[in-house]
Structure 1
Amino acid sequence: MSESSSSNQSSQLTRRHFIKNTSLGAAALGLSPVVLPSAHAAKAAGNRKLKVGVVGLGGRGSGAVRDILTADPNTILWAVGDIFEKPLQKVAKFEKKYSGRVDTDGGKRHFVGFDAYQKVIDSGVDIVLLTSTPAFRPLHFEASVAAGKHTFLEKPIALDIPGMKSVIESAKKAQSNGQSVLTGLVWRYSPHLMEMHKRVQDGVIGEVLTTSSSYCGGGRPNKMPDIKYKPAKMPDMEWAQRYWQNYLELGGDGALEFMIHGMDRMSWAMGDGMPVKCYANGANIHPVKGANAWDSFNLRYVYADGRTADFFGRQIPGSYAPSGDTIVGTKGQAFVSGSAASIIVDGKTIWHKKGGLGYVNEHRIFTAHIRKGEVYNDVVDKHKLATSHIIGIMGRTAAYTGKLITDQQIMSSKDVLLADIKNLNFDTPFKPRESAVPGKTPFV
């Protein structure tokens, strides 16, 4: 089917029918359908204090602690863990800001090391915030679910397809056991975008034909110094953990670590269906010596009904850095530009709204479900955000290889970016892969 035929397909395959038949599910993953809570129904937390533990107290971990304490005034910070000791100093700031809502037993529930995640999980918490280096997310999530905890997963929730399948299986187990799961794709919880997409889903702009999304920044986050400045006695793994955003193996590249937000908005607009193929371009325009993560991606996705969606992302200092969406329907368009969203029909703006990101709102929704005894799960249920991550991996793979990648191909990938992650420590050897070269890098 040609890409130009998308507009002719809208009368044959409606958007609602498309969503129903192509959303990530049993067929895409070869997994059994999600089981709703039955024998293990969720127990309502009511008004009791909810004990929160955080694994990984970097910038996003600190933010997640603030977000959940702000969202639910009857939560307390109970335990903290990180592979490094210094981030735990932030607990003192939480104690000042949230008086009476930090109880780590005088620091006895401060845990340091690669096994800190398990100690936080076992400390008596109700909710675990998983915000450490993303490479560890599937392992930590599996442990949290096994211990019966409600879990927040910062994005990205997995970096390769084997890891993604592990996360989906864990999410299904959590749902069956009555445990709630929330991811960190905060645009989904931004009130103005929630309202706009509700209008789009209700057909205000007709059937969605195509979407173009962008997510750009003015530079790489936590840009690594030249590798020559690594202290001679510092293990390679320790250096890599300190600058994980620069490494494919630890952060998933910019496509997963940063640009996933824009790909998620694109997927949202397209109905969260799984595209059937992707071809792409990308580059390391301003490479960081010793690192392998790219700074630019251009992705084209094709859906089963012939519709297409495009994504553009880059992290280059001094460059124009747009973040937004253009959603084209049979009756009109919807636009997102930064904090503003608009809907235009017949050349007239019929709706416009501004708003902030949903950092606090997502935790408000999350804890409200826990208190009511209702299971919330946006990995495989509410938004199926596993799909957005697989789309990201698919796009990254298409760009790396320079090949056309199908949905069946990407789901067959056996590529594990970092092996034996359960047994990692600072003495584990670490040698990053060479930066990908399109047309030469093979599909695994």
Structure 2
Amino acid sequence: MTTTSRSPSATNVSRRSFLEGSVALAAATAIPGGAFAAGSDRIKIGVVGCGGRGVGAALQAVAADASVVIAALGDRFADQLDAAAATLAASGDGRFASGLFHGERAAEFVIESDVDAVILATPPCYRPAEIAAAVRAGRHVYAEAPVGIDAAGVRCAAAGVEDGRRRGLSLASGLQSRHHSPTRSVVVAIAAGGIGQPLRAVAIQHIGLPWVRPHQKGWSAEDAAVRNWIGDERLSGGVFLEHLVHAVDRCSWALGEPTPLMATAIPTTIALPQPLDRRMAAAARIAFAGGATLEIDVIRREGIEDRVEETLYGRRGNADLRRCTIPGQAFAAAAGDAGGHATCMASFIESLKGGPHRDDLATACRSTMLAVMAQSAAAGGAPVAWQDLWRPSSAPPPSQPVQSSLV
């Protein structure tokens, strides 16, 4: 398959300067939102990032409604773009098209193409700038979580969300648990007093090492890093963000989303060789107004016994957020339930057709910042205050990943 590359040679722009420019432009530029409708019977979607999640989201978008067309695909790598296009074409649906862009400016060209909405599924370090650019172009946004890897990135994403709200855009996140019917049911039961007052949430994930794609001839060091982004802290944000943001979101949601106050480092639940590699093992406690806490413990280590738990402790019992149970009651999906990812995408597509508006990307900003706060406390050893993360002058300095796909 022949791909179209509209990617000139990379310019040497730092991530910090690009994020700052995106915030400034988003605040200063007033382009009307590109809502689907006005004389068209199709919803044209562009996909930025053609790995497994991007392709999966594209398939779910097409399955959600017969009017959806995948009008543009973009990825840094031509081989990944070709594989994605072939996978989508093999579905036999005939609604996969057209604009194929590879290279370091692929995201820019997808966003600027003739699309109504974009799905953002690149590594999370790129997401803040892509959200800001998509909103600036008047595109509805479906962004996977996390929405950034550090406080500066989350602030950029949040600024883009606020601009998108002013434009009336649909702004959806890939926090699929919010659309998973058993999880929704257990959270409703907790809010109704099923375990009494929620006091403490604990999220534990002890799992093996991230996947690694072996280095291939012709790859630059930067290419190899991006292809293995999940294990590179500059791109993924580290273990709290790339792997635990969904758990952090579920626990905060089940606690009633109280106001965060402070995060502090705590010991991991099992003893590990010292010095501890904070990129692969860390633990922190988040304190909320009202006294509730969230303890997060994550270890990625070869040969470790898998342990994945999310428990909410209340005055009258405990809730298991993974199994969706409270004392005396278990919640299961109804027959024919499409699952969280598919339902999450379907509601986004419905919002583009005039259905209930999606405005939950701000929730993803909040949950990502909670994970950033925990990561910062665990890595630095000193307490980190929630309010400080939202102040550019006093927040921890941003990470420095490899160059953004939008630059």
TM-score exceeds 0.5: yes
Q: How far 1:307 sits from its partner (Å)?
A: 2.2
Q: 1:44 to 1:224 in 2, by over 3 A?
A: closer
**3-state SS, counterpart of residue 125 of structure 1:** coil
- 2:345 corresponds, among 318, 341, 363, to 363
Q: Against the structure 1 CA distance between its residues 420 and 326, is the aligned structure 2 distance closer, same or farther, given a 3 Å change threshold?
A: closer
Aligned counterpart, 1:95 = 89
Structure 1 residue corresponding to 2:122, chosen from 114, 122, 132: 132
Partner secondary structure for residue 157 of structure 2: helix
Conserved? CA contact 1:174–1:181, under 8 Å: yes
Structure 1 residues 54 and 188, CA gap change in structure 2 (3 angstroms): same
After superposition, residues 153-302 of structure 1 pair within 5 angstroms as 153-220=143-210, 222-223=211-212, 234-281=219-266, 294-302=279-287
What do residues 285-309 of structure 1 show as CA deviations (whole Å, max 9, x unaligned)? 799xxxx872222221112222222
Task: Decide whether the 8 Å contact of 1:282 with 1:400 is kept in 2.
Answer: no
Higher mean C-alpha deviation, range 397-406 or range 313-322: 313-322
Please, which moves more after superposition, 295-304 or 397-406?
295-304
Shift of 1:159: 0.8
Give the 5 Å matches for 1:52-131: 52-89=45-82, 90-104=84-98, 109-131=99-121
- 1:43, 1:373 within 8 Å by CA — same for their partners in 2? no
Shift of 1:350: 3.2
| Aligned residue type for 2:279 | W
Report sequence identity in percent: 25
Paired amino acid for 1:342: T
Q: Secondary structure at the match of 1:299?
A: strand
Match of 2:374 among 391, 395, 400: 395
CA apart distance, 1:415 = 1.1
Cα distance in structure 2, aligned partners of 1:242 and 1:414: 27
Shift of 1:174: 0.9
Change (3 A) 1:78 1:285: farther
8 Å Cα contact 2:235/2:401 also seen in 1: no
User: Do the aligned residues in 1 keep the contact of 2:106 with 2:406 (CA within 8 Å)?
Assistant: no
Q: Decide whether aligned partners of structure 1 residues 65 and 282 sit closer, same or farther in structure 2, where only a CA change above 3 A counts.
A: farther
Moved more, 304-313 or 159-168: 304-313
After superposition, the CA RMSD in angstroms is 3.0
Q: Deviations over 1:216-256 (max 9, x none)?
A: 43331x3366xxx686x743322211221222111101211
Letter in 2 for 1:128: V
CA gap 1:43/1:223 in 2 versus in 1, 3 angstroms? closer
Q: 1:135 to 1:407 in 2, by over 3 A?
A: same
8 A Cα contact 2:106 2:405, kept in partner: no
Query: For 2:32 and 2:182, how far apart are their aligned partners in 1?
Result: 35
Equivalent residue number for residue 311 of structure 1 = 296
- 1:61 shift after superposition: 1.2
Unmatched 5+ residue regions in structure 1? 1-30, 32-38, 426-444
* Deviation per residue, 1:366-415 (Å, 9 max, x gap): 111221164311122xxx22111111001111111111222233333151
Please state how far the C-alpha of 1:354 moved relative to its aligned partner.
5.4
Residue 341 (structure 1) aligned with residue 320 (structure 2): no
- What is the Cα deviation at residue 215 of structure 1? 3.3
Distance 1:373 1:361, change over 3 A: closer
Distance 1:111 1:350 in 2: 50
Q: SS at 1:276's partner residue?
A: strand
Question: What is the Cα deviation at residue 357 of structure 1?
Answer: 5.0
Q: Secondary structure at the match of 1:372?
A: coil
Are 2:44 and 1:51 aligned?
yes
One-letter identity of the residue aligned with 1:334: A
Q: Which amino acid aligns with 1:147?
A: A
Contact residue 255 and residue 292 of structure 2 kept, 8 A: no
User: Matched residues in 1 for 2:33 and 2:405: separation?
Assistant: 34
Return the letter of the residue paired with 2:202: S
Match of 1:386 in 2: 365
1:327 counterpart SS class? strand
Q: Distance in 1 between matches of 2:406 and 2:91?
A: 35
Which of 389, 395, 410 is the equivalent residue of 2:389? 410
| Distance in 2 separating the partners of 1:186 and 1:150 | 18
**Structure 1-normalised TM-score?**
0.75
Query: Do the aligned partners of 2:34 and 2:138 also contact (CA within 8 Å) in 1?
Result: no
Answer whether contact 2:312 2:319 (CA < 8 A) is retained.
yes
**Is the CA contact 1:272–1:387 (under 8 Å) kept in the aligned structure 2?**
no
Cα shift at 1:120: 0.8
CA shift digits 1:92-151 (9 cap, x unpaired): 2211214221121xxxx1101111111111221111011112211111111110111111
Alignment-mate amino acid for residue 96 of structure 2? V
Q: Secondary structure at the match of 1:60?
A: helix
The 8 Å contact of residues 181 and 333 in structure 2, kept in 1 or not, is answered as: no
Runs (5+) with no aligned partner, structure 2: 1-22, 24-30
- Match of 2:50, SS? coil
